[in-house]
């Protein structure tokens, strides 16, 4: 799974007016699916649903991705850090970028 700098993510998000986040959502989920070997994850469908019905599915996506990371941590014997509720609350409060940064930080720790 690719390591991504949190600072670079913030810079790219602002430079591209949020388009980087769409790219990141797909790539991060696809890489996690392959790394964790979870066959029930469909990054393309998830991205499409986020774009079509943005807020409701994006909230679900943030919660589910965070929960999947915690599940994988438990399955592999790592210390489990379940940020799913925190990330959901941040997303609802309009801080979705912060949620994504927390998710990427957790993905970086998986390597």
Residues 20-46 have a mean pLDDT of: 95
Read off φ and ψ for residue 93, nearest 5 degrees.
-80, 5
| Average pLDDT along the chain | 94
Of the candidates 29, 20, 21, 22, which has an alpha carbon nearest to the alpha carbon of residue 2?
29
Tokens 């774009």 -> residue? 51
Q: What percent of the chain has pLDDT over 90?
A: 92
Digit-coded pLDDT (tens) for 73-101: 999 999 999 999 999 999 999 999 999 99
Q: Which long-range contacts (CB under 8 A, 24 or more apart) does 90-93 make?
A: 90/62, 91/58, 91/59, 91/62, 92/59
* pTM higher than the cut 0.85: yes
């Amino acid at each position: 799974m690719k390591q991504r700098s949190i600072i670079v993510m913030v810079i790219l998000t602002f430079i591209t007016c949020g388009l980087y986040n769409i790219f990141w959502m797909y790539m991060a989920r696809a890489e996690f699916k392959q790394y964790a070997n979870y066959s029930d994850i469909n990054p393309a469908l998830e991205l499409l649903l986020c774009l079509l019905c943005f807020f409701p599915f994006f909230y679900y996506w943030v919660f589910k991705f965070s929960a999947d990371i915690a599940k994988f941590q438990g399955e592999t014997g790592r210390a489990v850090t379940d940020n799913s509720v925190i990330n959901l609350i941040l997303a609802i409060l309009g801080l979705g970028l912060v949620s994504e940064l927390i998710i990427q930080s957790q993905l970086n720790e998986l390597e």
